Amino acid sequence: MFTAYVAVTVVAAVVTGSAAVTYLIGHDYPRAQLDMKRLPRTWGPRLGLVLAAGSVGLLVGFAVPPLGTLSAAGLVLYFVGAITAHLRVGSRQLVGPAVFLAVCVAALWLSLSR
């Protein structure tokens, strides 16, 4: 079970960290997503920082388990919010946020069952 926890947590940290980088460098895809969801572009760097903090928190959770659990829970809430934002504007492009949510839910579940 510990191996699954480590593998899933590392995958969650990598995918959320890569998403954070795209927001923080101002890549076109996150800008298009913000526009589609009718959110201000000034939110991009802030959302990137939230993702980066969650990603780092997952990794720090190996040394401080409660922090990893809280980070996973925060990322779950983040992606629930992302899906809600998609649904709010009538977007049905839910595969991406659903995959991120599933990975973060798995990381949270494994962290709690550790």
Can you give the residue ranges of every domain in the chain? 2-112
Taking only the tens of pLDDT, the chain with its 114 residues reads 899 999 999 999 999 999 999 999 989 999 999 999 999 999 999 999 999 999 999 999 999 999 999 999 999 999 999 999 999 999 998 999 999 999 999 999 999 998
Residues 6+ apart with CB under 8 A from 1: 110, 113, 114
Q: Please give the pLDDT value at position 114.
A: 82
Q: Note the pTM of the prediction, 2 decimals.
A: 0.93
Residues 6+ apart with CB under 8 A from 98: 83
Q: Please give the pLDDT value at position 75.
A: 98
